[in-house]
Amino acid sequence: MPRLWFINKNQDELVQLQRDRFYFNWREGPNRSQYSTYDEIYRKFSQHWTLYREFLAEMGIGLAIRECELTYVNHISHEAGWTAMSDIDKVMGRMTWQSSKDGFLPAPRSVNWQALFDLPADKGRLSIKLQPAFRGEKKEQILLFELSAKGIGSDRSDKGVDDWFETAHEWIVKGFEELTDRDVQRSVWGKER
């Protein structure tokens, strides 16, 4: 099967099918859709996933879940308080560049950061990446902050998959909160607590 995309009218939801993959994506569409919550997105994913499994069952095609994935991609613009790569600590409190008077290296022109964490109960891993990128036709410089959980654990039942996504969501949210500056969380992303 070739890769197939099904995009909704607002162009902010995408179902992608491949021979061995089923993806449901929410993205900022051209109409600048309001940010959807995890619960809203997961409900829609579950609806599409159920329809797809029912279709496979009708066709007599088996299904074996090998891995699940939940990914958040965050575009961090200059409005978050950074202007150069040496300012990353203003947004990402735990990531800093400290030049010294005696140091040889100047502030970096670019930074790529990646870390990998194990999820509990052998449920997989959480990958966190930060790198510079450019957005839109105007090529606005941004930081691309991606948190991606992959895995499944031993329980591949419907409940096991739901539990896996809950664990993945918790780790992504708490990882985001731990790595980003709290003042920026409030002022840029509207975090209340």
Q: Residues 152, 174: one domain?
A: yes
Residue 96 pLDDT more than 80? Answer: no
8 Å CB contact between 41 and 28: no
For residues 174 and 96, state if they share a domain.
Answer: yes
- Please state, in angstroms and rounded to a whole number, the distance separating the CA atoms of residues 21 and 16: 8
Does 91 share its domain with 33?
Answer: no
The verdict on 70 and 148 lying in the same domain is yes
Distances (CA, A) of 119 to 130, 149, 181: 20, 8, 23
In this predicted model, what pLDDT tens digit does every residue of 159-173 receive, in sequence order?
Answer: 999 999 999 999 999
pLDDT of residue 143: 93
Domain check: are 128 and 153 in the same one?
A: yes
Q: In the 8-state DSSP scheme, what is residue 78?
A: G
pTM of the model: 0.89
- DSSP-assigned letters across all residues of 104-166: SS-S-S---EEEEEEPGGG--EEEEEEEEEEETTTTEEEEEEEEEEEE--S--SHHHHHHHHH
Q: For the chain, what is the domain count?
A: 2
Q: What are the tens digits of pLDDT across the range 19-65?
A: 889 999 988 766 666 778 899 999 999 999 999 999 999 999 999 89
pLDDT band at 152 (very low <50, low <70, confident <90, very high): very high
Q: Find the domain containing 19 and state its range.
A: 1-63
* pLDDT beyond 80 at 100: no
User: Are 111 and 26 part of one and the same domain?
Assistant: no
Q: Which of 19, 44, 63 is the last residue of a domain?
A: 63
Report pLDDT for 193: 65
Q: Identify the band that residue 115 occupies on the pLDDT scale cut at 50, 70 and 90.
A: very high
Average pLDDT of every residue of the chain: 90
Phi/psi of residue 183, each to 5°?
-65, -40
Domain boundary (13, 42, 63) is at 63
Question: Across the strands, what pairs with 75?
Answer: 144
